[in-house]
Amino acid sequence: MIKVCLNLILSLIALLLIASCQPPQYADIVFRGGVVVTMDDERSHAQAAAVYDGKIIFVGSNQNADSLIGIDTKIIELEGKMLMPSFHDGHSHVRAGGSSLNGCSLHSAIDIPAIRNQLIECANSKNYGIDEWVVGSGWPLAAFPEAGPTSAMLDEVFDDRPAVFFDAFGHNAWLSSRALELAKIDKTTPDPSQGVIVRDIGTGIPTGTLRDSAVSSVLSILPAEEDEDRYSDLLAGIREANKFGITAFIDPGVTEQGLMDYQTADRRHELSARVITSLSPIGSLPDKFGPEIFDLLLTRDKYRSDLVDVDSVKVYIDGVIETRTSFMLEPYLDGSNFPPFYPLTELKELYVKLDMLGIQIHTHAIGDAAIRSALDAYEHTIAVNGQNDNRHQIVHLQLIDDEDIPRFGELNIAANFQCMWCYRDVYIDLAVDIVGEERTNAFYAVNSIKSHGGLIVGGSDWDVSSLNPLDAIETAITRTDPFSNSGLELGVGQRIDLTDALDMYTRNAAHVMRLEKKTGSIEVGKFADLIVLNANLYETPVEDINEVEVLLTLLNGEVIYTSPNYQDLEDD
């Protein structure tokens, strides 16, 4: 009798398990009548896809999709539009980007008259108190190609208030005279290690521009941002990312306060993205840190969630070429060079310790010597700790020596490029004067890395440059100006095709983010992180790719962004 009952119980359990494995009879959403670009291993295309309970349950033909339509199924008629996996941004300062949307931004200014006009508009609209700090960002370095801007304009516009504006690259600060005074920067102040106080050549008096680690002298005295304002900036940045079809990103340089803000957004169900927080005790300041990074890492687990991955650290090795603060194998044309933020022995020791903790090391390296140092440190780490799945990467990669190009594939280090920079703009013209035409034409060797077996990943570095992945994708394909569709090509042989460019912002970035089993392609069983574009990119002239619009963005099958030009879901 006991045996009969046991067999009956086992049979019931088996039936329940079988039932739980059966697909649902009807879908929550069916997309049909367009092109479904799956980005799977075969890069296959389909006509339709279906979603149930936040996951993809079908990819195939329109006819077969129809069998999943029930009375409550939402039908999205694509009408030739394109459904694809949502974009993943491998390097985006999302909260800072939100701050630029909400604050005093100079990002659209291209020359000194435009900068002055935007400063005046800011002064008139913000109604600053007599002693209130004026804080903004986005001034173009190329407008001040040599010494940088001086305090005079800020003094004039803001009536001697303390004012600081960070440049579009995030490596330079422009201070008013009052701000310099409060920061205790004068003729006798020495340059900090890994930083520069720009001075008048004749008098030695600081002009108002600080570079790289010197920026910390003003950051340390800025009044703390109100919690409400900081959180508002984060939400604004996330929503802007969703607008461009981004549902996953790596935010580099996140402090513990940043972790708290992400946790708050998550708990309030306002975090509409999957995030890797690449941690740093110094935030986004271009400088080195010390043992305090390990104190920060000890706190990280309490911020971990389904949407927030906390196993990454941001490391700066150098600055930027345009201010001669990148570490180079050969000196700049003026004979100068800039030391790396970490001596190689110290860098190797840091990487070994981080790697042992299961941390992804997210390295900023721009100059060819900095990139070599990073690769040397990774190679040493592998020799000491062995191969693992931490998925390290180097970001920016402006100038890579030919000898180091194969090492990305050999060492399994992802190459995270900002392809929005892969064309001849004013910064490229500036670089020619600093490092020469030959080295400039070797910038951003995307195709070379790919051809040698390296994993290429896309990132925006917003708010340094455009958040829209389609701007970067078009530029990666053409290597020319995506806005004027003109100009000389940057880097012979460095173009990639559309599929490779889409890979960078979908499956490849998903891999670096440890999401490849969940997102990055449209396959049965993965989360329905999807976007609808208003045109099929494979039928769009390449010069029009960045004019294509994201109509819908979905995370876990839920619509998190709807373009004003597309109301189908709301009309159902």
Provide DSSP, 169-228: TSSEEEE-HHHHHHTT--TTPPPPTTEEEEE-TTT--EEEEEEEGGGHHHHTTSPPPPHH
pLDDT of residue 228: 86
Region class of 412: left (phi > 0), else alpha (psi between -120 and 50), else beta: left
Average pLDDT of span 461-468: 92
pLDDT of residue 147: 66
Higher-confidence position of 240 and 119: 240
Question: Using CA atoms in the order 452, 390, 553, 533, what is the torsion angle rounded to 10 degrees?
Answer: 0
**Pairing state of beta strands 29-32 and 74-77?**
parallel
C-alpha span between 256 and 277 (Å, rounded): 10
Which pLDDT tens digit goes with each residue over 506-564? 999 999 999 999 999 999 999 999 999 999 999 999 999 999 999 999 999 999 999 99
* CA-based nearest residue to 211, from 119, 285, 100: 285
Environment class of 134 (CB within 10 Å of its CB; exposed 0-12, middle 13-18, buried 19+) = buried
pLDDT of residue 453: 98
Indicate the average pLDDT of the chain: 91
Lowest average pLDDT, out of 402-406, 444-448, 481-485, goes to 481-485
Length of the chain: 572
Q: What crossing angle do the helices spanning 469-478 and 498-505 adopt, rounded to 10°? A: 140
pLDDT of residue 18: 36
Whether 413 has a pLDDT exceeding 50, the answer reads: yes
Count of alpha carbons within 13 Å of 85, Cβ hemisphere only?
Answer: 33
Whether 247 has a pLDDT exceeding 70, the answer reads: yes
Q: How far is CA 185 from CA 222, 224, 434, in A?
A: 15, 21, 28
Whether 568 has a pLDDT exceeding 60, the answer reads: no
Whether 2 has a pLDDT exceeding 60, the answer reads: no
Average pLDDT of span 98-111: 79
pLDDT of residue 326: 96
pLDDT of residue 23: 58
Whether 1 has a pLDDT exceeding 80, the answer reads: no
pLDDT of residue 11: 35
pLDDT of residue 146: 67
Give me 526's structure tokens.
């993965």
Contact 552, 563 (CB under 8 A): yes
Higher-confidence position of 428 and 5: 428
Higher-confidence position of 208 and 7: 208
What is the pTM (predicted TM-score) of this model? 0.88
pLDDT of residue 15: 36
Q: Which residues is 165 bridged to in the sheet?
A: 136, 174
pLDDT of residue 336: 95
Lowest average pLDDT, out of 19-23, 308-312, 423-427, 551-555, goes to 19-23
Lowest average pLDDT, out of 33-42, 62-71, 131-140, goes to 131-140
Average pLDDT of span 315-341: 95
Which pLDDT tens digit goes with each residue over 253-290? 999 999 999 999 999 999 999 999 999 999 988 899 99
C-alpha span between 430 and 439 (Å, rounded): 12
Average pLDDT of span 415-424: 96
Return the CA Rg of the chain: 25
Amino acid occupying residue 175: L
Whether 190 has a pLDDT exceeding 70, the answer reads: yes
C-alpha span between 266 and 278 (Å, rounded): 17
Which pLDDT tens digit goes with each residue over 15-46? 343 344 455 789 999 999 999 999 999 999 99
Q: What crossing angle do the helices spanning 292-299 and 256-267 adopt, rounded to 10°? A: 10
Average pLDDT of span 129-158: 82
Q: Is the dihedral of CA 174, 170, 341, 261 positive or negative?
A: positive
Higher-confidence position of 7 and 453: 453
Chain center to CA of 461: 4
Higher-confidence position of 395 and 183: 395
Name the DSSP letter for residue 301. Answer: G
Whether 137 has a pLDDT exceeding 90, the answer reads: no
pLDDT of residue 547: 97
Whether 370 has a pLDDT exceeding 50, the answer reads: yes
Average pLDDT of span 6-13: 40
Question: Using CA atoms in the order 271, 275, 280, 285, what is the torsion angle rounded to 10 degrees?
Answer: -80
Contacts 24+ apart (CB under 8 A), 115-124: 115/139, 115/140, 115/143, 115/149, 115/153, 116/153, 116/157, 119/153, 119/154, 119/157, 119/158, 120/157, 123/157, 123/158
* CA-based nearest residue to 272, from 558, 511, 567: 558
